[in-house]
Amino acid sequence: MALSSYHLPAPADWQAFERFTRDLFSAEWIDPRAELNGRSGQPQAGVDVFGTNARTGGLEGVQCKGKDARYGHGVTVEELKAEVAKAYTFKPPLTHYCLVTSGVADVKVQEAARLIDETHRKAGKFGVKVYGWEQLLAILQRHPKIARIHFRDLHVALSEIHAQAELIAVCHQTFQHTGLFDRVDPVAASDGYHQVLMDASTFYDNGVLDVRSALAMQRALHRDVSGQLRVHPKATVAYFGIAHIPLVMHAGSAISTRHPVALYELDATSGQWTPLADGDGPELGVELVDLGGPSGAADAVIQVEVSFKVSKTDIDQTITKPYRHFAVRICEPKRGAVTHYGQARAVANAFREAVDRVHSENPGATQHVFAATPVSVSFRLGQMVSQTIHRSVLAYNYSQKSTPPYHWAVDLVAADGAPGQLWISGVKPRV
Q: Which of 253, 286, 260 is nearest to 381 (CA)?
A: 253
Mapped onto helix, strand or coil, the DSSP state of residue 288 is strand
At which of 254, 275, 296 does a domain end?
275
Residue 394, phi then psi, degrees to nearest 5? -100, 130
Q: Provide Rg for the chain, Cα atoms.
A: 25
* Residue 9 vs residues 36, 103, 145, 146, 227: alpha-carbon distances, Å: 22, 10, 17, 14, 42
Could you tell me if 143 and 158 lie in one domain? no
Is residue 431 one of the residues assigned to a domain? no
Could you tell me if 233 and 330 lie in one domain? no
Please compute the mean of the pLDDT values over residues 95-116 and round it to a whole number: 92
Is residue 429 one of the residues assigned to a domain? no
Could you tell me if 101 and 191 lie in one domain? no
Could you tell me if 79 and 41 lie in one domain? yes
The per-residue pLDDT for range 320-378, each reduced to its tens digit, is 999 999 999 999 999 999 999 999 999 999 999 999 999 999 999 999 999 999 999 99
Could you tell me if 306 and 338 lie in one domain? yes
The per-residue pLDDT for range 132-151, each reduced to its tens digit, is 998 999 999 888 888 878 88
Residue 302, beta-bridge partner list? 326, 369
Helix/strand number for the chain, H first, E second:
12, 19
Total count of residues recorded for the chain? 431
Looking at the structure of the chain, the number of domains it has is 3
CB atoms within 10 A of CB 350: 22
Could you tell me if 15 and 143 lie in one domain? yes
Could you tell me if 103 and 215 lie in one domain? no
Is residue 281 one of the residues assigned to a domain? no
| pTM score over 0.95 | no
Q: In what order do the strands lie in the sheet with 96-101?
A: 35-36, 49-52, 59-65, 96-101, 127-131
CATH number of the domain bearing residue 351: 3.40.50
Is residue 313 one of the residues assigned to a domain? yes
Q: Is the pLDDT of residue 195 over 60?
A: yes
Could you tell me if 88 and 175 lie in one domain? no
Could you tell me if 240 and 292 lie in one domain? no
User: Residues 140, 146: contact at Cβ < 8 Å?
Assistant: yes
Could you tell me if 7 and 138 lie in one domain? yes
Could you tell me if 170 and 75 lie in one domain? no
Distance CA 181, CA 312 (A): 36
CATH number of the domain bearing residue 90: 3.40.1350.10
Distance CA 97, CA 135 (A): 15
Could you tell me if 213 and 171 lie in one domain? yes
At which of 147, 181, 200 does a domain end?
147
For 214, the domain range is 154-275
